[in-house]
Structure 1
Amino acid sequence: MRKVINLNDAWKFIKENVQDAMNQVYDDANWESVNVPHTWNAIDGANGFDFYKGACWYRKEFTVDTINAGNKVYIEFNGSNSVTDVYVNGQHLGQHRGGYSIFRFDITDVVTFGGKNTIAVKVDNTVVEDVYPQMADFTFFGGIYRDVNLVIASHVHFDLMDHGSQGVYIVQDEVTKEQASITLKTRLTNDHEEEKKVRLWADMLDAEGKTAAYGAKEIVLPAGQTTVVELPIKIENPILWNGRKNAYMYEANLSLTSYNDVIDELSIPFGVRFFKVDPEKGFFLNGEHLRLNGVSRHQDRKDMGWAITKKEHKEDMEFIKEVGATSIRLAHYQHDQYFYDLCDREGMVVWAEIPFISIMSKTELEGINAKQQMVELIRQNYNHPSIMFWGVQNEIQIGGNRPEVRKLVKELNELTKKEDPTRLTTQANVMFVPDTDEYNYITDTIGYNKYYGWYQGKAEDFAEWIDAYHATNPQVSLGISEYGAEGIIQYHTNDPKVKDYTEEYHTLYHETVWNIFADRPFLWSTYVWNMFDFGANIRDEGGVKGRNNKGLMTYDRKIKKDAFYMYKANWSDEKFVHITSKRFVDRADEKITVKVYSNCEDVTLVVNGTTYTTERNRAAFTFNDVALEDGMNTVKAIGTSEGNTFEDTAHFNKVDEPNPSYLVPESDGGGVVANWFDMPDLDEDMEIEELVITDDVYSTRNTLGELYKNEETKKVLEKYLKGFNEDNPMFGMAEGMSIDMLASMADDIFTEKMMYAINKELIKIKKA
């Protein structure tokens, strides 16, 4: 019978690459004592560009009871970033390349039963050319950051070496409200030296533990082989997995028996459902339209990095449920199995993806590792009913318009459809991919990462772009895979503007954009970027190093920003009242505007004990010209709904002068692009003349990558874009962008004079 023995406790760790650490006889007494999950970047991974990258070692002693002799023994890692070499008793078991999936090694022939065994693990989070991700806007935390287990199994068992999967696939051939036709596709391994006759049993239990369907088959398993065995099952009048309305789960109890012995068994929760996406009407679950009001999630947390436990996963899910989301984009890699389990149980529709992001390798052009990670993602997560979309890439066009990238995206889509034809494929295009580019037609659905109102233009620009795209591509199912703005709760203003980092702009942005999305039901999904602030070592803006601050909640999950409540008012049925800008305490105004988010029918404002007025609205209640007295003022909002009342209170301090700490320092403002360059002083008397730009010369239409490859154009960039070169941590994110694109993201930096000056020199240089 199968046993799973957790090995998380009592490891020894050293933050360096040491010689001979793999040997069974090695003195690790002076190493640090740690428990798994563990990362060596818990602190430095979200505090600036300089975080530790390199090889580190873990060691642990363990025993395998003699009662298990004669069985197979496997070591299982649920997540180790990113290149992991495993040794048991001094012998190298193998290497796993990729930091997010489950992997196992067979240690049967090297383990000592009844005695001490030593496992030594070298983990290296250095970026290498043939492992993804190559470059991304999040920190690559190193370490064994998910569970480690021993798995003991009979020599006849459900396959444990199938890319980290369960060895069982619950294939939903056809699901209707009347019947669910399922094929249990099992991989059965016989490691004996002779053939074995076994019986496969399958009991499909409903949520009450009653048998909903069953099946059985006798099989003769050839010696030393893995055999694929399929078992058809039908569930009559199934209760469908129906998102947050009713995330109904069945359980597949599978066993292998030989005579009177159960030699292996698995219990796999699953749900049955059918779904589709319509380019005009959006997403449908079980025949009914469901708006995918989504948030994106990264797995790290302040002072923990990726080394989080079930407690933190559960807390994240509770916050996502509270905001009222119906869908989660689990970016930009495979997440912990426990979180997918939570998505199943809580009814979240999931977009799952691999870390084929930003830049493709410059030397490994077949995408071997990207394909490996896609197969692992699908096979390990096949049985989760919550997953309905497989993502094949995110912003991979940042690395430039390379034919090998296009080829690999197509191959990943084809691989995904071959591995799992029951689900839909998708991808997240970077914002500058043209509306008619072939990227829009490769996958079943499309998402765009668009940042109007932060990196480009204004929030209102979403409406024009979405409508134009839909008119151009009426056959394409369009979603918004990312949208957001930085929001730092230290900064506040009465006059919010693009790139001011204030909580007020962050809130206004989301309110504006959501209203645009809400009026366009053909969008199959929208995903806020991001549910939580997260570690991004290459960033330095708004006075915060190593952090992306676009979350609806802070990195430590302690504070819900005002925008959180804006979405809760629009998405959730849980009644509440929330006064915005409560952290904007000091006010130098005689009168202020008070905004309240609520999903109550009406809200009454009470100021210093006196009822001000009552408003009725949908989600945002605005009270203008609220007079403040000198000193501290108490403002209370009271909402009513179906005879119940809900309250929130804020305190505003009337002061003589504005509090300067509420504004971002000038040196930290202006957006991310502004922090990349030291711009030169231009001649104030410069006259701008009309320039003729032809295709045979360089110009600001070319990408940074193209311009830095040519020595002459490189000198022009070094003159005007001082301090920005191949060594800059953001170079990899920017090399696929043209200077024109950068100018659209920072027109206050790339002024008309600046663009004229750069082009005047570039057009003198002929292309080869």
Structure 2
Amino acid sequence: MAALLALLTPVATIALVGAPTTSWAAPYVPQPSNRQVLNFDTNWLFAGDVPAGNGQAVGLSEAAFVPVTLPYFRTHPHKGFPRGDFEVPASWYRRHFALPSGYSGRRVLMEFQGVAKAAQVYVNGTLAGQHNGAYTSFTVDVTPYVTVGGADNVVAVKVDSMTRNDLPPEGGAVDYFVWGGIVRDVNMIVADPLHTDWTFVTTPSVSASSATVNARTSVRNDSGASKSVTVVTSVVDTGGNVVATGTGTQTIAANSAFEFNYNTSAIADPHRWDVDDPYLYTVYTQVRDGSTWVDEHRTRIGVRTVAFNATDGKFYLNGTAVKLRGLDRHESYPFIGRAAPNRLQAKDADILKYELGTNLVRTSHYPQDPEFLDRADEIGLLVFEEIPGWQHIGDTAWQDVAVENVREMVTRDRNHPSIIMWGVRINESGDNHNFYTRTNALAHQLDPSRPTGGVRNFTGSEKLEDVYTFNDFSGGSIAPTVLPWLVTESVGHTDPDRSNDPEQVLTHTMLTHLNVQNQAASRTNVAGALGWAAFDYNTTFDTESCIDSTCYHGVSDIFRIAKPAASAFTSQRDPAKYGAFVQIAHDWAQGSSTTVYVAGNCQQVELFANGVSKGRISPNAYTSLPHPFFQFDNVTWAAGSLRADCWIGGAIAATDTQYTPGAPVKLSLAADDASLKADGGDMTRVVVKALDANNQVVPTSNAAVTFSVTGPGAVVGSSPLVLEGGVGAVYVKTALGQTGTIAATAASPGLASATASVTAAAFTDPIVPVSGAYTFGFPVDVNDRVTGTGQNQFNYAGTGWQNGGDANAFSKDNSWSGTANDTATLAFTGTRVVLYGILDTTHGQAAVSVDGGTEQTVSFTGTRRANTALWSSATLAQGGHTLRVRVVGNGPVALDRATVLAAAPTVVSAPVAASPDVIPQSRYSVRYVDSQDFNGDGQTLSGPAISAFDGSTKTFWHTRWSTGIDPLPHELQLDLGASYPVAGFTYLPRQDSANGRIGQYEFYVSADGSNWGSAAATGTLANSTAAQTVSFTARSGRYVRLRVLSSSDGQYASIADLKIRTSGVSTTTVDDRATGTGQNQFNYTGTWQSCTNCGADLYSGTNSWSNTANSQFTVAFTGTQIRLYGVRDPRHGIAMVSIDGGAETAVDFYSSARQGNLLVWTSPVLTAGSHTLRVRVTATASPSATDTFVVADRVDITG
């Protein structure tokens, strides 16, 4: 998540002296902070427009809104759609939220990472802020407009997505979609009135032995009084140790800001950030108000130097020349435009680095998502970031916005070590001396540590920037005319290709990219070259290379599936660092060329044609490249196969086989990710391929593939999807608060189907609290051609119904009738239904109702527009309902789809038992660890010390192994957050391996974290996967220390889960049949039944049950926690559980097999005193349940 952005208040600046230059090795100690960063992406409502134009009104009817998770905008086909679908003068996003009383006196800010193209932000009906520009972030201080104490607040964002000729990049022709909507994350930042506004950390002097760190920090005092302020900057390594620190003090006047500027102590022997070793430090900025700590802000930095040399033309990273090799990237995705979740943003960076083998990406032609840049920092992908624009320079006001874009871009992103240069010129524009003098000077003022560049497409252009960045579509023939010189685009625009193009076209594009890269490699005074582009992208243009709303300029298609041209880049990876690679660039089909090119980072390649060797050769084509190609001539085709063996170091390191393509016989389906977050917006790409009998893609297949899904998710994309080059992709998206397995199936006539599954895991980010009445579930779209008499099926009655295609309709089809009293009904389970149809000037009206109620007239008349929301029901009781659409008869009625909304709060289906004597892990923090590894599997935090107490048994702390091995003994110190009588610990070893299982140990308890005294416990833990509890006589303290003296493998230590136990806690059990209105009694209201001697699996042999909506029971108790035990069964449903009238949590009592006396829900740790548990029956079934019973067995109360 991006840090707080600068507010537009003048800031005083002073240079302060930093701390003495000494070496630091002590663990970083966090101090109290009033700052919270909350996820603000979930539980929004969206509407394309509000007819009255008053979408900000507090009491607005939200019947026409649908629930969404951000980022979100309208979906669309991946090609062949009109521009007008996304140019909307007003889209509205609304979010209800409640702020606790504890936020009183704090500043409340909303950070929008990207809204296209202009936004107005209203809070409780009042305009709180606005922003112009589709690509830069902005923050709105909403403190004056919100109410704390649990009241309902509503934020409404009006988004203008029309063509905006007053805003870059528009004003002239633009060959890409700017898209629209809230297209990136939204965060809420709650902070003390005295808080860090921004930090800017640089390393002015770096060597192998020392690095100087300069820290600039803007601190705001939004209180009404002058403050005596101390700022402490700590640079912390990945082991949690402070390696440099600096301090500044200043009195800051009321309602003003002050910029601290000082050098910290030097970092001794700095671990420098590099493309192959992207080491990151964390900078913590702590703010003290007098003697009270009030704020902690953090950012990541890399210690490195970057320079373009004007004499030799080379680019230097940490003093070493690096030839830049890269691609340009559009932030544009099929089906969803720019509204891509963080997972997809980070995946693009991974594709560029690991699949395409680049070391540089240009963010063409605008600043891109912070998550993409964060991932670039993490993996060592260099970035050239530029301001929005495409060829056109507007008037003075337009230029002022562009200058502001420079300010916003640099201020937001200048702490990213991956960024090596700022682009301060409008892409491919003409010279404009005054304008570009302003942009260049501002970038240098805001960030003196980086060079600037400005992309042009003609020689002789005035060079105001530090680097001459040039789009060269000559095939690499233009020699530098000024230094430094970087080729920023090449090939794709003039040599496009599609995945289903003939071999000759695909090979030509590949060879042209190779020629450009080879020319750049051969010229020592060229810093490098980028190809246009990484991926095909949607466009507003209709040209020879851009058709069906798609520019085919990428080395990968719009789904990020590589074309042959990608091998020109992938083959340049270092095999020692990124693995061996070999790929045959040939179809091996009748009519194929007799010249066979093989891409690879091999020392030699041996080619076999139908088992006969054509020789083992060294690279012989494009030989200036680090890894030239292999060209085999006079290879005559005969049906069969080609095989290329990649030889490195005298052994075969990789092999590729290309068969003569056969007929498609089956589909394959593969998801990028195994697990997603159940936040309603997370999604992963699912790639579908048509394969022949050799499991090889059939490049001529254009099979139409339909997708279906089971489980708590949905497919986002076209269904059917017509494959190009035998490949395609859709996305699988989660449902808000619904966990489980999502299984997507791809089918096509005549081909064997395929299924891919992903897990929707619990969403645990801290979110902005939702006002109680405004939690909405996941929308389910029902296409008009999904017919039948069951749930979520359209049932048509009457003689006039017809159906047919419409390219702009949902799933490209619709159903219509003009015959009076023809009907369409839809049975569904949910809380609301929205009807979508097709407007047309020839269309008439329908009468719409729910459950036989009053009909409402809905007009289908208007300028033709498909997939348009025409009517919504009111909010309904959760349960079964029937929508009915009746044709009036004054013109055709065309149905497109219905969206069913089901109330779906977070469902607890498998709670972890919280032992009454366990100190909550949420209170732990790492105080010190001697060794930890950060090279996990990419899906889980496997290595960092925090994984020892993150609540997951799949993640684990592991001492360093990927970049060296630290010897025993190992040590982990935890801060428990407060003092407890510590009486033991429970240790769960790593579950997937025996590595690091702890043997001999010592365990200590301390009041101050310094004086440890003698060990509270010593011993040897068993070498097994079982959890092991160690108990000892209680010692009072806040800090604990585990020393590992030996382990199962003699060098590592690991912990999957560590719980610290306390003493002096009592537990009271109350049976479900202990009834009444007093303390520790079940008080039932509504319709309940019970039985005794009902089974040995029940507590005391009793239980109580109901399936009547809103029947409930309460238990009044005195204590600090309560645990609910019930019965799970195939017939059981969902209950809503709450404490003291607070927010309800949905608890699932379903199980495929009966389980009695089972823990189903655990309250949070409560303030000691009187409380009331409330359990309410919803009469809602789980997806697989056959009934809706809720069954109580007992409660355990912790005193």
What interval of TM-score do these two structures reach, taking the shorter chain for normalisation? 0.7 to 0.9
Equivalent position to 1:84, from 114, 119, 130: 119
> Larger Cα Rg: Structure 1 or Structure 2?
2
Residue of structure 2 aligned with 1:256, choices 258, 269, 287: 287
Verify the 8 A CA contact 1:48 1:539 in the aligned structure 2: no
Match of 1:116 in 2: 152
SS of the counterpart of 1:246? Answer: coil
SS for the counterpart of 2:454 is: strand
Q: Is the 8 A contact 1:129 1:364 kept in 2?
A: no
1:311-390 map, 5 Å = 311-322=343-354, 323-361=356-394, 363-365=395-397, 367-390=399-422
Judged with a 3 Å threshold, the aligned counterparts in structure 2 of structure 1 residues 615 and 406 are, in CA distance, closer, same or farther, namely same
Is residue 43–residue 305 contact of structure 1 (8 Å, CA) maintained in 2? no
**Contact kept? 1:6, 1:150, Cα under 8 Å:** yes
Q: Which amino acid aligns with 1:121?
A: V
Q: Is 2:439 aligned against 1:412?
A: yes
Task: Report what 1:138 is aligned to.
Answer: 176
Of Structure 1 and Structure 2, the greater strand share is in 2
Aligned to 1:93: 128
The match for 1:168 among 191, 194, 199 is 199
Matched residue of 1:284: which SS? Answer: strand
Query: Which runs of 5 or more structure 2 residues have no equivalent in the other structure?
Result: 1-33, 620-626, 664-697, 702-1199
- Quote the Cα distance in structure 1 between the aligned partners of 2:521 and 2:55: 57
Change in Cα spacing, 1:366 to 1:623, as seen in structure 2 (3 Å) is closer
Counting matched residue pairs gives 614
| Residue from 236, 243, 252 that aligns with 1:205 | 236
Question: Could you say what secondary structure the match of 2:264 adopts?
Answer: strand
Aligned mate of 1:223, from 244, 254, 263: 254
Instruction: Give secondary structure in 2 for the equivalent of 1:193.
Output: coil
Residue of structure 2 aligned with 1:298, choices 302, 323, 330: 330
The structural deviation recorded for 1:208 is 2.1
Alignment of 1:411-490 (within 5 A): 411-430=438-457, 433=458, 435-438=459-462, 441-452=463-474, 459=475, 462-463=476-477, 465-466=478-479, 469-470=480-481, 473=482, 476-485=483-492, 486-490=496-500
**Correspondence 1:592 to 2:594:** yes
**How many Å separate the matches in 1 of 2:586 and 2:553?**
17
* 1:294-348, Cα deviation, whole Å (9 max, x unpaired): 2211111111211112221222122112222121111211111121111212222
Question: Per-residue CA shift, 1:189-219, capped at 9, x if unaligned?
Answer: 1111111123211211123222211122332
Answer whether contact 1:48 1:540 (CA < 8 A) is retained: no
Is 1:127 paired with 2:163?
yes
Match of 1:154 among 192, 214, 224: 192
Given that 1:243 and 1:349 are in contact with CA atoms closer than 8 Å, whether structure 2 keeps it comes out as no
Contact between 1:392 and 1:425, CA under 8 Å: does it hold in 2? Answer: yes
Distance 1:347 1:35, change over 3 A: same
Question: Would the alpha carbon gap of residues 48 and 606 (structure 1) be closer, same or farther in structure 2, given more than 3 Å must change?
Answer: farther
Q: Deviations over 1:595-622 (max 9, x none)?
A: 2111112222222233333222153222
The answer for the alignment partner of 1:30 in structure 2 is: 64
| Aligned counterpart for 2:653 among listed residues 633, 645, 657 | 645
Distance in 2 of aligned mates of 1:382 and 1:653: 50
CA contact (8 A) 2:521 2:528 kept: no
What amino acid maps onto 2:47 in structure 1?
I
Deviates more, 1:168-177 or 1:79-88: 168-177
Structure 2 letter corresponding to 1:521? T
Question: Percent sequence identity over matched residues?
Answer: 25
After TM superposition, what 4+ stretches of structure 1 lie above 6 angstroms from structure 2?
659-662
Q: Normalising by structure 2, what TM-score?
A: 0.49
Indicate if the aligned counterparts of 1:480 and 1:526 stay in contact, CA closer than 8 A.
yes
CA deviation string 1:710-749 (max 9, x = no partner)? xxxxxxxxxxxxxxxxxxxxxxxxxxxxxxxxxxxxxxxx
1:287 is the counterpart of 2:319? yes
Is the contact between residue 429 and residue 449 of structure 1 (CA under 8 Å) also seen in structure 2?
yes
Q: Deviation at 1:520?
A: 0.7
Q: Which one of 566, 572, 580 corresponds to residue 564 of structure 1?
A: 566
* Aligned equivalents of 1:45, 1:206: Cα separation in 2: 47
User: Which one-letter code corresponds to 1:33 in the other structure?
Assistant: P
**What is aligned with 2:618?**
616
Counterpart CA distance in 1 for 2:556 and 2:128 is: 42
1:515 maps to what in 2?
Answer: 518
Q: Which residue of 1 aligns with 2:1134?
A: none
Kindly tell me: are residues 427 and 108 of structure 1, through their superposed partners in 2, closer, same or farther at Cα, counting changes over 3 Å?
same
Secondary structure of 2:45's aligned partner: strand
Structure 1, residues 233-281: CA drift from partner, whole Å, max 9, x if none?
1324342534213222211111112355321111211112222212324
1:8 counterpart letter in structure 2: D
Partners of 2:94 and 2:544 lie apart in 1 by 39
* Correspondence for 2:507 among 504, 507, 513: 504
Distance 1:271 1:588 in 2: 52
Distance 2:163 2:282 in 1: 40
Looking at structure 2, the residues matched to 410 and 216 of structure 1 have their Cα atoms a distance apart, in angstroms, of: 36
Cα distance in 1 for partners of 2:382, 2:449 equals 15
Deviation at 1:531, TM superposition (A): 1.2
Answer yes or no: is the 8 Å Cα contact 2:422–2:452 preserved in 1: yes
Alpha-carbon distance in structure 1 between the residues aligned to 2:240 and 2:352:
29
- Counterpart of 1:194 in structure 2 is 225
Q: Hey, what does 1:526 align to over in structure 2?
A: 529
Q: TM-score, normalised by structure 1?
A: 0.76
Partner of 2:39: 6
Cα distance in 2 for residues equivalent to 1:493 and 1:252: 52
Paired position in structure 2 for 1:709: none
**Residue equivalent to 1:492:** 502
Secondary structure of the 2:466 match is: coil
Could you say which structure has the greater relative contact order, defined with CA pairs below 8 angstroms and 6 or more residues apart?
1
Deviations 1:65-111 (A, max 9, x none): 12211211111111111100010110011210011122111111111
Partner of 2:1177: none
Deviation, structure 1 residue 53: 0.6
Identify the residue that residue 1109 of structure 2 maps to in structure 1: none
The one-letter code sitting in structure 1 at the alignment partner of 2:194 is: V
Judge which range, 278-287 or 415-424, deviates more.
278-287
CA RMSD of aligned residues (A): 2.4
Are 2:365 and 2:427, in contact at CA under 8 Å, matched by a contact in 1? no
| Distance across 1 between alignment mates of 2:636 and 2:264 | 69
Contact 2:510 2:567 in 1 (8 A): no
Contact 2:120 2:157 in 1 (8 A): yes
Residue of structure 2 in register with 1:692 after alignment? none
Quote the offset at 1:527 in angstroms. Answer: 1.2
Q: Which residue of 1 aligns with 2:54?
A: 20
The letter of the residue matching 1:426 is: G
Residue 253 of structure 1 contacts residue 267 of structure 1 at CA under 8 Å; is this kept in 2?
A: yes
SS of the aligned residue for 1:182 comes to strand
